Amino acid sequence: MSQSVISAQGINKIYNPDTTEQVVALQNIDLDIRAGEFVSLIGPSGCGKSTLLRLIADLLTPSSGTLTVNGKDPHQARVDQDYGMVFQSATLLEWRTVQKNVELPLEIMKYSPSERRARAQDVLKLVELEKFGNHYPWQLSGGMQQRVAIARALAFQPSLLLMDEPFGALDEFTRERMNLELLRIWQETHTTIIFVTHSIPEGVFLSNRVVVMSPRPGRITSVIDIDLPYPRTFETREDPRYFAKVTEVRELLRDAHAL
Amino acid sequence: MAEIVSNGTRIKNLRSRLNYYLPTIVIAIAVVVVWEVAVQVFNIREFILPRPTAILAEFLSQLQMAVTPGQQSILFEAARATLWSAFGGFIIGCGAGILVALATARWTIISEAMMPFAIAANSVPIIAFAPIMNNWFGITNPASKMAIVAIIVFFPAMINTVRGLTLIDPRQLELMNSYAASPFKILRALRIPNALPFIFSALRVASSLSVIGAVVSEFFGGPRATLGVYITQEASGFNFTRAWAAILVASIIGILFYNIILLLERRLMPWYAAQRQSN
């Protein structure tokens, strides 16, 4: 149960090392994430939260330190397709229908065509878009496109979901609805989720734990347990304990910034 | 019910398309009418500018000859020969351009090294090589015209394909990498579909260029039954109406060719045409 999905020790990431444009994106990151957790990385832009997510995804490699994903080297975890990723923009392939977009990872992983169809239908049902399989991405709203991206990431049932500000481009109403939907999906699929955001209320509302980061150099300043009960609903947002946590995170972010 | 609605929208679509093209049609008719009237009123001599109705009459009489069994129309034979040169050169040049781009896209260094040469070659007036090609392949051999057309269309086809294969949204590439997709899968599922709009815009340009290239290279000599030779001979023989009718035929070939590509584009990229229309 408390098996480590992500284990990071002393991670440093330096862009353009040994040049005048050297940037220390991450400094001395220690982080442990257990199976089934919902963890948010929160902080102002430039704090390295997206960089940390990309290190876990093996889209970037750390300059030093040790990092394991599912007990493996991140490269091996990527090759084994251990995680699904959702980006800030839906990043759908515009020449594919919704159904075919969701089938893309399954195609790469060589599932049979009938299996692909069945699984794509299943995850589209999960995000309540089963009627839009034959639409092209441009025919959908931003929120719907992002739901397709989530369905695509879930299609091959990865045990780990990496989300990089997935709702950052959405309006407040859509965003709050998507938050509820994501929590429902998380509870139905028992996936571990690492969620990058710069919205304090969003991070607190969704997560078991909030990792507070600060910029220049990017580092973890504190980790807050959010001990609000699940399932969380619209009412949770009016709970005094929720407000208290939001305030706590906000103050920690301010302190981190003042450092 | 659904059918009635779709019928209604179809009529609406037709009407909105008619409205869209109406100004173009009006201007086209106006130009022809002004031309016709001006020739008559100012008494413009036929060798300067024939009346459009005279050109049309010549065209129709040639057409009638072409479709009557036992009779021949040199004009339409010429059209067929020129079309063949343009089409053959188009296929060879565009095919080679796309293949070279595909082959080199795998090695970005090679395609990047080739691009400046391709862009420079693209601005060379390739038509100037027409006499050389006549020398190489023989003046009456259609291969000499095809070669010119092929070289002319090769560069835009290659340049655009390379661009389409390499100008990829970095986020889409990141997505493919997150799935640990193989380079071949990335080529097939991302690079090639991404390149299709670029390739088709090159094919559209190439379709016009190929007819121009064929006709102009025929100006440098060729068999009697080709549009370029036909136009030069009729013009030097003071049969200007005939020359103009041949120009009309060349224009029709060019427009036809262009529209075939457009049709193919809509067929192969349904997502693209609809998306552009909705924007």
Contact A136 B193 (CB under 8 A): no
Asked if B26 and B86 sit in the same domain, the reply is: no
Mean predicted confidence (pLDDT) in B102-110: 79
Q: B interface mutation test: which of A79, A108, A163 has the most B CBs within 10 A? A: A108
Chain B residues with CB under 8 Å of a chain A CB are: 169, 171-172, 174-181, 185, 189-190, 193, 196, 269, 271-272, 274-275, 278
Q: Express as a percent the part of chain A with pLDDT over 70.
A: 98
Asked if B189 and B84 sit in the same domain, the reply is: yes
Query: pLDDT by residue (tens digit) across A210-238?
Result: 999 988 888 999 999 999 888 898 889 88
Question: Would you place residue B243 in the very low, low, confident or very high pLDDT band (cuts 50, 70, 90)?
Answer: very high
Asked if B29 and B127 sit in the same domain, the reply is: no
Q: How far is B124 from chain A (nearest CA, A)?
A: 35
Is A151 inside a domain boundary? Answer: yes
How many angstroms separate the CA atoms of A82 and A74, rounded? 9
Is B187 inside a domain boundary? Answer: yes
Q: What ipTM does the predicted assembly reach? A: 0.86
Please give the pLDDT value at position A255.
81
Res B5 pLDDT > 80: no
CA dist A235 → A225, A240, B82 (Å): 20, 10, 76
Domain count, chain B: 2
Is B55 inside a domain boundary? Answer: no
Burial profile A38-54: b = 16 or more Cβ within 10 angstroms, e = fewer:
bbbbbbeebbbbbbbbb
Is A132 inside a domain boundary? Answer: yes
Asked if B172 and B264 sit in the same domain, the reply is: yes
Is A176 inside a domain boundary? Answer: no
Contact A57 B178 (CB under 8 A): yes
Asked if B269 and B207 sit in the same domain, the reply is: yes
- Which residues lie across from B201 on neighbouring strands? none
In contact, A151 and A135? CB cutoff 8 Å: no
Asked if B72 and B115 sit in the same domain, the reply is: yes
How many angstroms separate the CA atoms of A203 and A197, rounded? 7
Q: Which residues contact B99 (CB under 8 A, 6 or more apart)?
A: none
Is A131 inside a domain boundary? Answer: yes
Asked if B19 and B145 sit in the same domain, the reply is: no
Asked if B22 and B122 sit in the same domain, the reply is: no
Contact B189 A104 (CB under 8 A): yes
**Could you list the residue range(s) of the whole structural domain that residue B16 is in?**
2-44
Question: Would you place residue B125 in the very low, low, confident or very high pLDDT band (cuts 50, 70, 90)?
Answer: confident
Query: pLDDT by residue (tens digit) across A106-132?
Result: 999 999 999 999 999 988 988 889 899
Query: pLDDT by residue (tens digit) across B198-225?
Result: 999 999 999 999 999 999 999 998 888 9
Is A211 inside a domain boundary? Answer: no
Asked if B24 and B154 sit in the same domain, the reply is: no
Mean predicted confidence (pLDDT) in A155-160: 89
Q: A interface mutation test: which of B167, B171, B174, B175 has the most A CBs within 10 A? A: B175
Q: How far is A122 from chain B (nearest CA, A)?
A: 20
Is A76 inside a domain boundary? Answer: no
Is A213 inside a domain boundary? Answer: no
Question: Would you place residue B29 in the very low, low, confident or very high pLDDT band (cuts 50, 70, 90)?
Answer: very high
Q: How far is A93 from chain B (nearest CA, A)?
A: 8
Contact A107 B189 (CB under 8 A): yes
Question: Would you place residue B274 in the very low, low, confident or very high pLDDT band (cuts 50, 70, 90)?
Answer: low
Q: Which residues of B touch A111 (CB under 8 A)?
A: none
Please give the pLDDT value at position B9.
67
Is B148 inside a domain boundary? Answer: yes
Kindly report the CATH number assigned to the domain that includes residue B189. Answer: 1.10.3720.10
Mean predicted confidence (pLDDT) in A38-67: 92
Query: pLDDT by residue (tens digit) across B71-88?
Result: 888 899 999 999 999 999
**Could you list the residue range(s) of the whole structural domain that residue A150 is in?**
83-157
How many angstroms separate the CA atoms of A239 and A165, rounded? 25
- Please identify which residue in the block is written with the tokens 């090589």: B129
Is B207 inside a domain boundary? Answer: yes
Asked if B109 and B218 sit in the same domain, the reply is: yes
Question: Would you place residue A206 in the very low, low, confident or very high pLDDT band (cuts 50, 70, 90)?
Answer: very high
Q: Which residues of A touch B179 (CB under 8 A)?
A: 81, 104-105, 108-109
